[in-house]
Chain A
Amino acid sequence: MSDNDKKQFEPRIVAFFCNWCTYTAADLAGTARMTYSPNVRVIRVMCSGRLDPQFILKAFREGADGVLIGGCHPGDCHYQEGNYKALRRVTLLKRFLSMMGIEEERLRLEWIAASEGDKVQKVINEMTEQVRKLGPLKLEPMSQLRGEEDMVASVEKAVIAEGGVS
């Protein structure tokens, strides 16, 4: 590996794959020994419709440079229309993200059927390159002011530490 390659930014991408189609396709890509960029961390969810937009922001907050969502093709959802719900949420979420100064391209929704191992490979490679071009997403820490234990305390307000006097 040349020095130049070492310095290259390696994006971290969190992928939420639905159990019935895309995750199975990723399995297929694996058993077929297809190679793809190692930048993706896959999280299996039962359905792309299970994806709460909170999960996606949480991924960005915890250091993801991009988030990929994989669901069944329209009409193929194991739960009838979970993937349509994902589509509606992602459509609105993309507009929200761009208003907040985060490029829409950092969030990608793809329909990948169980037999499409090659599409998993293609989409992951494409997205890795695209996010690499966008560069790292460096959100500033939530409680930079005090050097407190990062954002968890300030976000999950229900759990304020005991002995609150500073």
Chain B
Amino acid sequence: MSKPKVAFYWCASCGGCEEAVVDLGPDILKVVEAVDIVFWPVALDFKREDVENMADGEVAVSFINGAVRSSEQCEMVELLRRKSGLVVAFGSCAHMGGIPGLANLFDRKAMFDEVYFNVPGVVNEEKIVPQEEYEAPEGMVTLPNLWNTVKTLDQVIPVDYYLPGCPPPVNLIVEAITAILKGKLPPRGSVLAPDIALCDECPRKETKPEKMLQKEFKRPHEVMIDPEKCLLAQGLLCLGPITRKGCGAACTKANMPCTGCMGPISKVVDYGMKALSAVASLVDSNDEEEIERILSKVVDPVGTFYRYSLPTSLLHRHYQPATQGGK
């Protein structure tokens, strides 16, 4: 029997997810032994035609990382969807939009204006911005279209499984690959990580007070953080209670609050709203002005609560009337 074929692809991402695959270390040899990697632009020299020439469904599983925000990325993931039995959204960006998803606070024009005109040091007197088509002496050259709105992978193609995390923890990758090879997969649509909040595996759990109330929120650079005490009890905005576990509490062990890259547990529809609700409930005051003052220390509600998940918010993006179109 021939080995199952596997593809890796990246869209709008930083490359950290590719690193996570390499972080498998010696285990990657076991993976290569069990499967044929047929497409992996960052590491192997296969081209788009190679994928196009495969039969539909020939690839057993495609691991796709990154958010989708251009016509090229859209075409590639559609192609991989057609050729693959399973598609796994790999990492926070494919899962929920990730850091690139925060671009949904702006639109394409605002981004182009900033990057090509307003950034100090940019000299662009002719006001040139990237053109999708350009008539060069050698002929017409084209560039992909950059969308106005960043999308998660499953807002573009149907996705079978999600591997959360920024990047996904190595042990979860190994477990997922093992489960796929053995055919022992949970129901389609599952997130391949435990469905319990992070506090469950946080070493600071025992120091979490019974009743958690705060008169003042603090930011990590403003205080000496006690390395053993519950971070929320110290007034730091740790999103552990609303975030899925599975990362081994890497951040809280490194004395930093959880920022929520693993996403919500399965019952939550809108991660950021749950996070906002949880944080607001900590406020120790019944007085309108004092509440306002305490909450003013949450300086960036969108970036705090939706750091990795803005495109999955019920609002999806910064408001623009529907007539402007989504792409």
Contact = CB atoms under 8 A, between A and B. Distances in A.
Interface of A: 52-54, 56-58, 60-61, 74, 81, 84-85, 87-89, 91-93, 95-96, 99-102, 137-146, 151, 154-162, 164-166
A21 B215 CA distance: 29
B298 interface: yes
B249 interface: no
Contacts of B269: 54, 58, 155-156
A117 to B, nearest CB: 25
Given A84-B286, A88-B283, A145-B327, A164 B160 contact: yes
Contacts of A157: 154, 159, 162, 189, 191, 312
Given A96-B302, A99-B301, A160 B188 contact: yes
4 nearest A-B residue pairs (beta carbon): A101-B319, A160-B189, A164-B158, A144-B326
Query: Do most interface residues of chain A lie in helix, strand or loop, or is the interface mixed?
Result: loop
A165 B57 contact: yes
Contacts of A140: 149, 316-317, 320-322, 324-326
Contact of A85 (B74, B281, B313): B281
Interface in B147-165: 149, 151-152, 154-160, 162
Interface in B205-235: none
Contacts of A58: 269-270, 314
Interface in B5-34: none
Contacts of B291: 87-88, 91
A87 to B, nearest CB: 6
A141 B326 contact: yes
Given A89-B280, A99-B301, 16 more contacts: A52-B277, A53-B273, A53-B277, A60-B314, A89-B281, A91-B288, A100-B315, A100-B318, A139-B316, A142-B155, A156-B269, A157-B312, A159-B189, A160-B188, A160-B189, A166-B82
Contacts of A144: 325-327
B320 A92 contact: no
A91 B285 CA distance: 13
Contacts of B316: 139-140, 142, 151
Contact of A95 (B78, B286, B301): B301
A53 B277 CA distance: 6
Given A140-B324, A164-B158, A54 B315 contact: no
Given A53-B276, A54-B270, A88-B280, A138 B314 contact: no
A160 B155 contact: no
B64 interface: no
A102 B302 CA distance: 13
Contacts of B87: 164
Nearest to B84: A165
A110 to B, nearest CB: 13
A100 B283 CA distance: 23
Interface of B: 56-57, 74, 78, 81-82, 85, 87, 105, 149, 151-152, 154-160, 162, 188-191, 266, 268-270, 272-274, 276-277, 279-281, 283, 286, 288, 291-292, 295, 298, 301-302, 305, 312-327
Contacts of B283: 88
Contact of B277 (A74, A89, A101): A89
Given A54-B314, A155-B270, A165-B57, A92 B280 contact: yes
Task: Tell me which of A91, A92, A143 has the highest count of chain B C-beta atoms within 10 A of its own C-beta.
Answer: A92
Contact of B81 (A74, A99, A162, A166): A166
A101 B320 contact: yes
Nearest to A138: B322
The residue among B154, B269, B327 with the most chain A CB atoms within 10 A of its own CB is B269
A58 B298 CA distance: 23
Given A141-B326, A160-B154, A91 B280 contact: yes
Contact of B326 (A84, A89, A145, A166): A145
Contacts of B272: 96
A80 to B, nearest CB: 10
Nearest to B312: A155
B188 A164 contact: yes
Nearest to B319: A101
B313 A57 contact: yes
A81 B158 contact: no
A146 B295 contact: no
B118 to A, nearest CB: 20
A138 B288 contact: no
11 contacts: A58-B270, A85-B280, A88-B283, A101-B320, A102-B319, A140-B316, A140-B317, A140-B324, A142-B155, A160-B188, A160-B189
